[in-house]
Amino acid sequence: MEKHGWCAVGPKIRTGHCVDCARGLVEPIRSRHINAIDTSILLDHLESLVAFDTRNGSGDEMVCVRYLEESLRVFNPDQLHVGQVARSRGKSDSGYVLAIWGRPDTLLNVHIDTVPSGEGWTADPLDLRKDGDKVVGLGTSDIKGAAACILAALETVTPQNVAVLFSGDEEHGSEVMPAVIASGRLDGVKRAIICEPTSCRVGRAHRGMLAISAGFSGPGGHSSLADVTPRPLLAAARLAAKIGGYADAHMEFGEAPFKGLCVNIGEIESDGAYNVIPTMAKLWLSLRPPPGDNVRQREAEIYALAEMGALDTIVAFEPFATKDMSAFKDVFGDTEIVDLPYWTEASMLSQAGVNAVVYGPGNLEQAHKPDEYVEIAQLEEAARRYAVALAGESS
Ligand SMILES: [Zn+2]
């Protein structure tokens, strides 16, 4: 694609003359000139992205990464990196594509994976369909809509000192983002917009996430021997009760709306019966430390409560809080600022020293459920904001 020159008056300049005012180029590229978002282009991008199966467990995220690599190449980035990332726990590889223009101050990030579509869809979840003022399809709200917004926004600006990262595995372990950070390719980035469904409001804080399993074992046997045989399920239940006490003792910890630790005893798995001493039991639990708290400290405390058992940390993600909201004023103006009820990878970027916010079209209420949808007006609004971020700092 050739370099755009922007007319101060009219949109849609492609070849040196403004199609609307016919005055021709006003001056050499001024990055802050941003043309109107073309909704049909935006929806075309979204239709293509929804059609890729990137469902956790069954989808192929690398195929979508390769497609996005070609989509970004059209906009002549100075650097275009693709990374393939191995994941733990038997999952297929995921990856990312990172496009960089100039020396990036600002990063825009969208995850390309979705949760499984589940039951209850009234049509093919990978087939985008328009329904009045919204579009329906898997990932429209969380968060392929934002990826389509960024691609549509790139049509309207000359990207300047900015990076766009499309990455996988956000919904199912977040093993890609640490790999991107470790690659050093984000070094120098000062601020990041992590795209997640916030209904076009600016998310500034959320809880962390700590998930742990505790395994117990024994020889098993007839329940008549229960008094003299190790009882794994009882040990797991006792640990669960102890952790419940820990939760109760922290009900007033933190500040609203992040009071308490959200301790959840999720499951105790076992192979026993009322008359059979089990040979194993496994307890699964999680807690969500509030912004400012330290997830590793919580992990150490939970481990200390378990006097026996084989403990394994499944995820230990830090909480998140924006470091300096004023740095985003040029992009978001007076947009409403909110606290978030869910975890995001903004936490990882923040830990790496980047000043981050969370912002995107769509709503948590519309995500992770049958007939997921996003309002077209929100896509247009988000695309305009992303265009400002892509155009670089105003100073
Ligand atoms: Zn998401």
Residues 95, 65 share a domain: yes
Q: Give the CA count within 13 Å in the CB-facing half-sphere of 4.
A: 25
- In this structure, the answer to whether residues 75 and 56 fall within a common structural domain is yes
Q: How confident is the model at residue 307 (pLDDT cuts 50, 70, 90)?
A: confident
Same domain? 187 vs 93: yes
Contact (CB, 8 A) for 74 and 132? no
Please check whether residues 216 and 174 belong to one and the same domain. no
Q: How confident is the model at residue 363 (pLDDT cuts 50, 70, 90)?
A: very high
Give the residue-averaged pLDDT of 368-380: 96
Name the band, by pLDDT with cuts 50, 70 and 90, for residue 33.
low
User: Which position among 61, 155, 170, 196 bears the catalytic label?
Assistant: 170
- Residue 142 Cα to ligand 1 middle (Å): 5
DSSP 57-110: TT--HHHHHHHHHHHHHTT--SEEEEEEE--STTPPPEEEEEEEESS-SEEEEE
Q: Measured in angstroms, how far is the CA atom of residue 55 from the centroid of ligand 1?
A: 12
Cα separation of 303 and 298, whole Å?
Answer: 9
On whether both 137 and 167 belong to a single domain, the answer is yes
The answer to whether residue 350 sits within a structural domain is yes
**Which of 284, 317, 350 is the endpoint of a domain?**
317
146 and 291 fall within a common domain = no
Mean pLDDT of 343-347: 97
Distance 196 CA to ligand 1 centre (A): 5
Residue 170 a catalytic site member: yes
Rounded to 5 degrees, φ, ψ at 305 are -70, -30
87 versus 219: the higher-pLDDT residue is 219
Quote the domain boundaries for residue 161: 39-204+319-390
Q: What is the pLDDT of residues 260-296, one digit of tens each?
A: 999 999 999 999 999 999 999 999 999 999 999 999 9
326 and 313 fall within a common domain: no
Residues 72 and 220 in one domain: no
Q: How far is the CA of 319 from the centre of ligand 1 (A)?
A: 16
**Residue 161, in any domain of the structure:** yes
Please identify, among 299, 317, 335, the residue that sits at the C-terminal boundary of a domain. Answer: 317
Q: What is the CATH number of the domain that holds 334?
A: 3.40.630.10
CATH code assigned at 272: 3.30.70.360
Higher pLDDT, 197 or 18: 197
Measured in residues, the chain has a length of 395
Mean pLDDT for all residues in the chain: 91
How remote is the CA of residue 172 from the centroid of ligand 1, in Å?
Answer: 10
- Whole-number Å distance between alpha carbons of 260 and 4: 52
Q: Compute CA 360 distance to the chain's CA centroid, rounded to the nearest angstrom.
A: 10
Tell me what pLDDT residue 89 has. Answer: 74
Q: How far is ligand 1, taken at its centre, from the CA of residue 27, in Å?
A: 40
* 349 plus 302 within the same structural domain: no
Local confidence band at 180 (pLDDT 50, 70, 90 cut-offs): very high
Determine the Cα–Cα distance for residues 144 and 261; give it in Å rounded to an integer: 31
- In 3D space, the residue among 71, 69, 72 whose CA is nearest the CA of residue 83 turns out to be 69
Q: Are residues 199 and 237 in the same domain?
A: no
**What total of structural domains would you count in the chain?**
2
Residue 278 within a domain: yes
Question: Could you tell me the sign of the dihedral formed by the alpha carbons of 110, 113, 117, 122, in that order?
Answer: positive
Q: Are residues 53 and 165 in the same domain?
A: yes
Torsion 53-55-60-64 (CA) sign: positive
The pLDDT-based confidence of 256 (bands split at 50, 70, 90) is very high
- Cα 13 → chain centroid: 34
The answer on pLDDT for 306 being more than 50 is yes
Does residue 174 sit within a domain? yes
Residues 135 and 214 in one domain: no
Q: Which of 292, 317, 342 is the last residue of a domain?
A: 317
- On whether residue 27 sits in a domain, the answer given is no
CA of 143 to the centre of ligand 1 (A): 5
Mean pLDDT (whole number) for 64-77: 97
**Average pLDDT, integer, range 216-227:** 98
Task: Determine the average pLDDT of the residues in 129-135.
Answer: 97
In a domain, 23, yes or no: no
Q: Does residue 5 form part of some domain?
A: no
Residue 30 is predicted with a pLDDT of: 39
Condensed to tens digits (0 to 9), the pLDDT of residues 378-392 reads 999 999 999 999 998
